[in-house]
Amino acid sequence: MSSTALLSQELPALDYTATRERFDETWRSPLSTLLGLGRAAGADFVEFFLERVNYISCLAEDDAITSISPRLVTGAGVRVFWGKGDCYVSTNDLSFKGLKVSLEKALSILGLSLPNPQAFIPDLNLELLRDYAVVQGKEAWLPQCSSMQEMGDILLGANGHLNQIASHVQSRRAAYFRDWQEVLVAASDGVFARDIRLTQSVGYSLLCAEGSDRASINKRVGATSNPNFLRAWQYAEDAAEVAESAGQMLHADYVESGNYPIIMANEFGGVIFHEACGHLLETTQIERKTSPFAEMKGQKIAHENLTAWDEGLSPNAFGSVDMDDEGMPVQRTLLIENGILKNFLSDRAGCIRTGHPRTGSGRRQSYTYAAASRMRNTYIAPGNFTNEDLFTSVEKGIYCKKMGGGSVGPTGEFNFGVDEAYLIENGTITKPLKGATLIGEAKEIMKRISMSSQDLGLAAGFCGSISGSIYVTVGQPHIKVDEITVGGRSS
């Protein structure tokens, strides 16, 4: 039946038979019909997001596997825009009837009504299926991943090695997860795109104790697009790093609170830029008017030596995707150039409500969330200084080698713990310190990042926001912050 001749009253009798075990070309007809129905009801824009997930995690504690957690999920979400308002409804029922019910519910919430029985449903011309999974051979990934037996063997071997080289061990963990996801996006602007993502992460958590002294150190690595990721894990190298850091911190002196210049290490040190500044450049914050940078595009918001990017293109990086969760191919977005704010991160809703162009940044945890503007791989770019330049510029300060957890307020106030820190005196690292917390405000700290080294490093991370928890990369080279408040013990 041609959709150009389809009447609204004929919809209940339709029985499409789309392929259930994969999202392919057979989904074109039902989704095209439903998108046309949404437009006929008066919606400005309609989008369907379909998802299948095959997830498993494995945890080794000391010398035993204590948890294996698989999860299989299938679902879909429909988003309807009318003016600057929108509504999102999700469902586990991927039948034509189930998707139609979800669409009707979203329309009704916005006050839109289905067309009368004699109304024609417009013919929606979707693009040829843009299938990244087929073009890049991603359909072979899942069978090539490690089996449950192999997961357990590798984690137990890694934990055993850590026990051999670490001292004063109280507990040790090795944890791994594999997240395989197939997605299909169909929208009333003609988008029709499919992708498969494979995200994996593995790491250590080590707690050492002697007397009243404690030291807790974590190390996690992650990647996308590599079925052999776990097999290739260099756990001996990571174990040596974790054991050495725990040993240094176990009997370290407590830092004295005060204002110091600091040098932050590369890789995960970028979590502060991600949290304290990156979120403020997402249009979700611009919409809420909670970002101090909302009206500062083209103005100086950081030190002239600072340039920062967000992109989804770095091979195997934790935040890399070929398309975002709205079907837009990802790109590289220049956020800050020599201190000048150049761009914001925008999804479809952000574009509609703020006018900032989409940047391929519409991301979500799963089909139960509407997409929102989110970061991908976000980092401070390499600068013109060497690490030696950074250290020799500090008479007395703190070297923050490993960052811990923290919190950020809605307008950029932050505090972050430092898991591994050292005192710098006259340009030289002299002794380990513990108990340091970095406290500041994004708008001020950005102007104090005066030096960036050339050793850019990226690290896997997890980011929570209004569209759930997603995989991201944080990163930077070694950087110098001229002054920041360091919480510790009073002198």
Tokens (6 digits) for 187:
């929208």
- In a domain? residue 64: yes
Are the beta carbons of 128 and 186 closer than 8 angstroms? Answer: no
Is 147 in the same domain as 128?
Answer: no
- In a domain? residue 189: no
394 DSSP assignment: -
- Residue 487's SS3 state is strand
Total domains in the chain come to 3
Is 244 in the same domain as 270?
Answer: no
Tokens (6 digits) for 293:
């940078």
Is 211 in the same domain as 278?
Answer: no
- In a domain? residue 191: no
280: phi then psi, degrees, rounded to nearest 5 = -75, -10
- In a domain? residue 190: no
- Residue 287's SS3 state is helix
Is 159 in the same domain as 54?
Answer: no
Query: What is d(CA 289, CA 353) in angstroms, rounded to the nearest whole number?
Result: 12
Is 464 in the same domain as 435?
Answer: yes
Q: Tens of pLDDT along the chain (491 residues)?
A: 344 557 777 777 676 778 888 999 999 999 999 999 999 999 999 999 999 999 999 999 999 999 999 999 999 999 999 999 999 999 999 999 999 999 999 999 999 988 887 777 887 889 999 999 999 999 999 999 999 999 999 999 999 999 999 999 999 999 999 999 999 999 999 999 999 999 999 999 999 999 999 999 999 999 999 999 999 999 999 999 999 999 999 999 999 999 999 999 999 999 989 988 999 999 999 999 989 999 999 999 999 999 999 999 999 999 999 999 999 999 999 999 999 999 999 999 999 999 999 999 999 999 999 999 999 999 999 999 999 999 999 999 999 999 988 888 888 899 999 999 999 999 999 999 999 999 999 889 999 999 999 999 999 999 999 999 999 999 999 999 999 999 988 65
Is 270 in the same domain as 417?
Answer: yes
Last residue of a domain, one of 251, 271, 286: 251
For residue 407, what pLDDT is reported? 82
- In a domain? residue 193: no
- In a domain? residue 339: yes
Instruction: Provide the b/e sequence for 203-223 (b: ≥16 CB within 10 Å).
Output: bbbbbbeeeeeebbbbbbbbb
For residue 244, what pLDDT is reported? 97
CATH number for 210: 3.30.160
Query: What is d(CA 362, CA 376) in angstroms, rounded to the nearest whole number?
Result: 10
For residue 217, what pLDDT is reported? 96
Which residues, at least 6 apart from 418, have a Cβ–Cβ distance to it below 8 Å? 398, 400, 401, 402, 403, 404, 436, 437, 438
Is 318 in the same domain as 449?
Answer: yes
- In a domain? residue 192: no
Last residue of a domain, one of 231, 251, 271: 251
Range of the structural domain that residue 212 is part of: 143-182+198-251
Is 336 in the same domain as 363?
Answer: yes
The residues with which 173 forms a beta bridge, in sequence order, are: 61, 205
The residues with which 308 forms a beta bridge, in sequence order, are: 336, 380
Are the beta carbons of 222 and 460 closer than 8 angstroms? Answer: yes
Is 174 in the same domain as 35?
Answer: no
- Residue 414's SS3 state is strand
Last residue of a domain, one of 135, 152, 170: 135
Is 100 in the same domain as 24?
Answer: yes
Is 131 in the same domain as 153?
Answer: no
Is 206 in the same domain as 102?
Answer: no
- By the 10 Å C-beta count (0-12 exposed, 13-18 middle, 19+ buried), 439 is classed as middle
The radius of gyration of the chain from alpha carbons, rounded to an integer in Å, stands at 25
- Residue 478's SS3 state is coil
